[in-house]
Amino acid sequence: MLYYLFEYLKQHFDFPGSLLFGFISFRAAMAIITSLLISTIYGKRIIRFLQKQQVGETIRDLGLEGQNEKAGTPTMGGIIIIIATLIPVLLFAKIDNIYIILLVITTVWMGAIGFLDDYIKKFKRDKDGLKGRFKVLGQVGLGIIVGATLYFNPNVTIREKLPTVEQRQILAANPNGLPSQLFKAEEKSTKTTIPFVKENEFDYAHLVTWISPDLEKYAWVIFILVSIFIITAVSNGANLTDGIDGLAAGTSAIIVLTLGIFTWVSGNIIFSEYLNIMYIPRVEEITIYIAAFVGALIGFLWYNAYPAQVFMGDTGSLTIGGIIAVIAIAVRKEWLIPVLCGIFLAENLSVVMQVGWFKYTKKKYGEGRRIFKMSPLHHHYQKSGYHESKIVTRFWIIGILLAIVSIVTLKIR
């Protein structure tokens, strides 16, 4: 809203300083500062409110050290992250931007699913919360919305670089020309980016056109299915990672900050031309959302770091995973998720492996056996005698290394 206000003041009154709101960097800085202030200052008030409502965590006896001390700690703290993200976005972003609209919908949608799950657990005294099938149904619904919007909306386009021969001719004729001259016109496309590959673009339409070129009109089905899978996988991964103090919030902040770099360069035609990457018009506005989201996550860590004063609950973890997935799809970096979100992937796989092996050995030997001492993976290390703050710190370090590897893919192909 402030963007439009200062845009009006600039056009009609030449208001001093109004030009600043035209810069992504300024609005991103204001968004992260505002979200940090909201999450740290008002976060305490929200925690007190949750305590008054007796929204305390019910701890199952898993035999983990320090587990009983966490009983009664307020949960549903993801509300802090959601509020601290949405307010700066509404203030500083172009709210008519299709990517911003999609991310706001994602935040509210996944936040509502997580809130309903936490509400059932705490107020309906049902430890299982929202039934798994309803969670999956909600994730599938969001995947359909995201996939259909990104495929059909006319404002979701890319601009590819011209063939090398044409680029040389243009540069020879006008060496000081604008970088935009080296790109084709905007076009709708189902192309995405594959990391570590020289010709690193892949078109989802190829998954059906190899059968018959006439099937290209059905490429939207493939794109929506991919969107559903990614959103479901990443949101569940974030949900499983939220098990010890500061783990989910810290690793998510690292992931989102990395996606912010990809968003910045992909939405800037100069950087896109220099790095020889896909240019995505209007996607740079997501940088504002990412700045607000990172500020909210870091502010939440103020209260969630060991020993935690509040837990995010499914309200936060499902929302975090959904947002990360949608940003990755929008920036066309979803194939980088196994690397960038390696912590989420490891947590997911540890559960799948543990459950699968237990069922297999029980059927074959009559007694279930385990690969890990406990799953998800962070509980395995707790059972091995590591303090949870050490586990969190080491997972953060691994997350930073994975982020660096992901950034390096901009040049290493």
- Residue 55 token pair: 């929204």
Structure tokens at 69: 């001390």
Q: Taking Cα atoms as reference points, which of 311, 322, 335, 313 lies closest to residue 138?
A: 322
Confidence of residue 234 (pLDDT cuts 50, 70, 90): very high
Mean pLDDT throughout 42-50? 90
- C-alpha span between 300 and 316 (Å, rounded): 10
Position 176 scores a pLDDT of: 78
Decide if 253 contacts 297 (C-beta within 8 A).
yes
Is 70 exceeded by the pLDDT of residue 3?
A: yes
> pLDDT value at position 225?
95
Per-residue pLDDT, averaged over 76-97, amounts to 94
Query: What's the mean pLDDT in 385-395?
Result: 93
Q: Classify the phi-psi angles of 382: left when phi > 0, otherwise alpha if psi is within -120 to 50, otherwise beta.
A: alpha
* Residue 63, pLDDT above cutoff 60: no
Give yes or no for residue 351 having a pLDDT over 70: yes
- Segment holding 239, helix H or strand E: helix 219-241
Q: What percent of the chain has pLDDT over 90?
A: 59
Structural tokens at position 252 = 């998510």
Alpha helices in 124-213 (DSSP H): 132-152, 164-173, 206-209
**Single-letter code of the amino acid located at 180:** S
Say yes or no to pLDDT of 58 above 70: no
Looking at residue 66, its pLDDT comes to 57
Cα gap 83→98, rounded to integer Å: 20
DSSP 212-236: -GGGGGGHHHHHHHHHHHHHHHHHH
Per-residue pLDDT band for 41 (boundaries 50, 70, 90) equals very high
Residue in 6, 340, 318, 280 with CA at minimum distance from that of residue 156: 280
Check pLDDT > 60 for residue 59. no
Tell me the per-residue pLDDT of 133-181, one tens digit each, with 9 for 90 and over: 899 999 999 999 999 999 999 999 999 888 878 888 888 888 777 777 8
Tell me the CA distances in angstroms from 5 to 20, 100, 266, one per residue in order.
12, 18, 27
Taking residues 30-43, report their average pLDDT: 95
Higher pLDDT, 75 or 127: 75
Distance (Å, rounded) from C-alpha 412 to C-alpha 194? 12
Check residue 69 and give its pLDDT: 63
pTM reported for the whole predicted model = 0.93
Mean pLDDT of the chain: 89
More confident residue, 93 or 125: 93
CB 145 within 8 A of CB 112: no
Tell me the pLDDT tens digit for each residue of 255-287: 999 999 999 999 998 898 888 888 999 999 999
Average pLDDT for 23-38: 94
Mean pLDDT, residues 225-241 taken together? 95
Give the pLDDT of residue 173.
83
**pLDDT number for residue 62:** 58
Q: What is the mean pLDDT of residues 181-209?
A: 87
Taking alpha carbons only, the member of 104, 134, 136, 38 closest to residue 323 is 104
Question: Within a 13 Å sphere around the CA of 157, how many CA atoms are in the beta-carbon half?
Answer: 12
